Structure 1
Amino acid sequence: MKGVIFNLLEKVVSDEFGPDVWDDLIEASGASGAYTSLGNYDDAEIEALVAAASRKLGLSRADILHWFGVKAIPILRQLYPALFDGHQTSRDFVLSVNEIIHPEVLKLYPQAACPFFHMQRRDGETVELNYESRRDLIDLAHGFIDGAASVYGDRVSVEHGVPTEEGRVESLTVRWQT
């Protein structure tokens, strides 16, 4: 996992709950707590931090990841405005993730393991996103979608697909409301 994700998590936790809560999460998770944006860190560290946040805040893993995604998008827009330029709506932004956003991420962070979304348009306002990643972070993707909708002033609803036998959800149905 790229350090920029850890940096974003630290910022959203510190902004929302204060730096002491971030320090508590580092201690409770056993994570190193020192992250450079270009660094690579074991996925187990983000999982440990999310688990610690879940325990401390009394929220599910899914809720923590979703909350993080929603809060991270405005920060990402400030840090990387070029990723958002040229998109008039969150729908345009989300639909560009494979062809524009992730290639740009890979320019900045060449070793990033970005997820891939197989997108199938159902109608003009509904898209099914099939999530392909070695990480189980679809709830983060859901949060990013809701965060993008907020940034662009759009209304969106997101439904999770049916879990696999392993319990993983691998698809989202996204409906933009006009």
Structure 2
Amino acid sequence: MKGVVFNLLEDAISGCYGAETWDILLDETGLDGVYSSLGDYPDGDIQAIVTAAAARLGVPEQDVLRWFGETAMPLLKSFYPELFAPFHSSKAFVLSVNTIIHPEVMKLYSGACCPYFRFQDESDEAVRMTYRSSRKLLDLAHGFVIGAAGEWNEKVSVERFPAGSPQENDMIIRWLDT
């Protein structure tokens, strides 16, 4: 996993809970916390930090990942405004992730292994998004969708399917303000 993801997680945790919380999580996980944005780090490091944060906050790991995605979106926009500028809505932004956003990420961060999303219209206001990645971070993607909506002052509802079901990697996204 690229170091920029760890940098975003550190900024999100430090911004909401204080820098000392980030240090406590690193101590609890035994990680040194030195993440260069261009570096590559084991996926297990992010999982360890999320697990420690969930235990410290008394919430499920899925909630930590969703919170992280939602909280990271404004940070991403402030760091990379050029990725957001061409879009007039969060729906347009989300639907461009495979064709515009991830190719730009791969230009910025050589060797980045981005997830793939399949989109299918469900109705005029709803889209089925299917997540494909070995990292199994659908909850993070869920948070990114909510965070993106917030950046355009829009509201979305996200319907998820039970783990173990054939649709467990799908979510139905409804834009409520468009």
When normalised by structure 1's length, the TM-score is 0.96
Question: In 2, distance between residues paired with 1:168 and 1:94?
Answer: 19
The equivalent of 1:163 in structure 2 is 163
Are residue 176 (structure 1) and residue 165 (structure 2) matched?
Answer: no
- With over 3 angstroms needed to count, the CA separation of the structure-2 counterparts of 1:168 and 1:7, relative to structure 1, is farther
Report percent identity of matched pairs.
Answer: 47
Q: Is 2:70 the partner of 1:70?
A: yes
Contact 1:138 1:170 in 2 (8 A): yes
2-structure distance, mates of 1:32, 1:39: 14
**CA distance in 2 between partners of 1:97 and 1:136 (Å):** 17
In the alignment, the residues of structure 1 paired with residue 145 and residue 153 of structure 2 have an alpha-carbon distance, to the nearest angstrom, of 12
Instruction: Assess if the C-alpha contact under 8 Å between 1:136 and 1:168 holds in 2.
Output: no
Q: Structure 1: how far apart are the matches of 2:125 and 2:99?
A: 19
- Post-superposition Cα deviations, 1:109-147, rounded to whole Å, max 9, x if no partner, equal 121110000110112210001100011100000000000
Q: Which amino acid aligns with 1:173?
A: I
Q: Look up the match of 2:82.
A: 82
The answer to whether structure 1 residue 126 and structure 2 residue 126 are counterparts is yes
Q: 4+ residue stretches of structure 1 with deviation over 3 A? A: none
Asked if the contact 1:2–1:112 (Cα under 8 Å) also holds between the matched residues in 2, the reply is yes
Task: Work out whether residues 3 and 35 of structure 2, in 8 Å CA contact, stay in contact via their aligned partners in 1.
Answer: yes
- Provide the rounded CA distance (Å) in 2 between the counterparts of 1:125 and 1:28: 44
Contact 1:146 / 1:156 at 8 angstroms: preserved in 2? Answer: yes
SS in 1 for 2:67: helix
Could you tell me which runs of 5 or more consecutive residues in structure 2 were left unpaired when the two chains were aligned: none
Aligned partners of 2:161 and 2:167 also within 8 Å: no
Once the two structures are TM-superposed, the CA of residue 168 in structure 1 deviates from its matched residue by 9.1
Q: Distance in 1 between matches of 2:47 and 2:131?
A: 18
The letter of the residue matching 1:169 is E
Report if aligned partners of 1:30, 1:48 keep a CA contact under 8 Å in 2: no
Mapped contact 1:126–1:174 kept (Cα < 8 A) = yes
Q: Alpha-carbon deviation of 1:162?
A: 3.1
**Runs (5+) with no aligned partner, structure 1:** none
Distance in 2 (CA, whole Å) between partners of 1:133 and 1:9 is 19
Contact 1:138 1:169 in 2 (8 A): no
Q: CA deviation at 1:169?
A: 3.0
| Aligned counterparts of 2:145 and 2:34: Cα–Cα separation in 1 | 28
Give the aligned length: 177
